Amino acid sequence: MKTIHVDLEERSYDIHVGNGILGQAGKILRDLNPSKKGIVISNSKILALHGERLIDSLQRAHLLVETIALPDGERYKTLATVEAIYKKLVRFRVDRKTMLIAFGGRVIGDIVGFVGATFLRGISYIQIPTTLLAQVDSSIGGKTGVNLIQGKNLVGAFYQPKSVIIDPLMLLTLPEREFCSGVYEALKYGVVRSASLFNLVDRKHSRFPEKDKSGLEKMIIECVKIKAHIVSSDERESQVRMILNFGHTIGHALESATRYRKLTHGEAIGHGMIMATQLAVKLRKIDPVAALKIQQAIARIAALPSLHSLKWRQVLLTIVYNLCCR
């Protein structure tokens, strides 16, 4: 198991990465949870695949466990879902010492983090990400929130978890399209921060997750190290953390314009990185040869869904609005 520290003074926390560590979740969380009560928030698919191992680990650590199953999908990342969770937490008699456990992908993590930031004016939560995208990116850094019809993540807060537990072996059950969605995010880290990581992702992603479990674990650890270092130096995205938005300004607009139904988040970011790179070439901000290398690496991950029928006026209006909100 590899432990990576996010240094944010009183908001600091550790990220634990290792094949098979889901079974150690109870031991890791026991000392973080003074009430010995945890609320696992997930969806029915993840609970059916991995819930028994997690809950068994928590109960062996003498933690009292309740579960909340949410509908699956980005379109449920709404204030209505948050309100439904609030009502269940009241029914479970949750207090400020209770710990929320986000057990899922990016959507689950974003929702649970926002609930943690707002219920009872703030209660602790931890992230146990079950998708590659969440393991390399969204579970780290404290960005939480939900969407409005007008745009993505327009309601949210910066609220750091108490810990992150990453078990790459859970990715063995991930559908191929969802796995590739996370590979786009991993490649992003290589573009903005590490040529060696870029080469690792480009050369070996087709062998993940089944054929090279140790290589997958190494890739995730390298992504986590980069994210942890950047968040430690710029928690609220005022300076260097903005480089992690490569592809996201356009990508978020694409998701919004397609009402979160046509593209996975990673696919939207893949399209966004290609468009951002093309724009950078036109503005003479990047060498055309380097730009082509990035675009070819993105294309090798998987075939991106067509944007042929998209209403580009809506995309541009969303981009402008999101930029004005920063």
Active site residues: 121, 143, 185, 227, 237, 241, 245, 248, 252, 265
Per-position DSSP letters for 181-235, written without gaps between them: HHHHHHHHHHHHH-HHHHHHHHHHGGGTTTT-HHHHHHHHHHHHHHHHHHHHH-T
Rounded CA gap, 153 and 78, in Å?
Answer: 9
> What is the phi-psi region of residue 267: left when phi exceeds 0, alpha when psi lies from -120 to 50, beta otherwise?
alpha
Copy the structure tokens of residue 229. 């270092």
Rounded CA gap, 125 and 252, in Å?
Answer: 26
Strands 151-158 and 143-148: antiparallel
Beta bridge partners of 156: 145
Strands 99-104 and 125-129: parallel
Contact partners, residue 260, CB within 8 Å, separation at least 6: 73, 74, 75, 77, 147
Rounded CA gap, 215 and 135, in Å?
Answer: 15
Rounded CA gap, 255 and 80, in Å?
Answer: 19
Range 237-257 burial, b when 16+ CB lie within 10 A, else e: beeebebbbbbbbbbbbbbbb
Copy the structure tokens of residue 130. 């079950």
